Amino acid sequence: MAVKDILLYPDPLLKTVCAPIDTLDAETDALLQDLIDTMVAAGHSVGVAAPQIGSLRRAVVVDVSKSKLGRDSNHGMLVMVNPEILEKEGSETMREGCMSVPDYTGNVTRAQNILVQYLDREGNDRVIRAGGFEAVAIQHELDHLDGLLFLDRVSNLKTEVFRRKSR
């Protein structure tokens, strides 16, 4: 479909809770393809959530398979509609970045392992276990659906947020 512009913080849409998707129709499929196209075009992204491209609907894509942190343990391209975390286990702190906050990274503590349920692009109900970097990426993208940025999860904005080095 199309590569979309990423909304940047402090755009108010990024702080809005998204609505569930009721039907998987042509409009929803177009949104999902836009998410995939936008993530792939970025080159360095491992996920994009619908609100980052201006749609307040509960959809994300995640693919850590090309990242050095995720290439050994992943489910490939995950296209998730109405995702929900059912279980969380463990705790891990990692440096996170976000295309909507391009100039900064931050140390965020998240669950090490998760069980997540969602509808795939074809409308099939899926439940997967994810761990490590893939679990972190999924949690990061799902936060966007609830109007949260990684900055909201940082324990101390003065000591745990860092200016990103130029690419």
79-113 burial code (b ≥16 CB/10 A, e <16): bbbbbebeeeeeeeebebbbbbbeebbbbbebbbe
Tell me if 40 sits within 8 A of 32, measured CB to CB.
Answer: no
- Active-site residue flag, 84: no
The catalytically annotated residue of 89, 96, 122, 141 is 141
d(CA 105, CA 80): 25
d(CA 117, CA 120): 10
Active site residues: 141
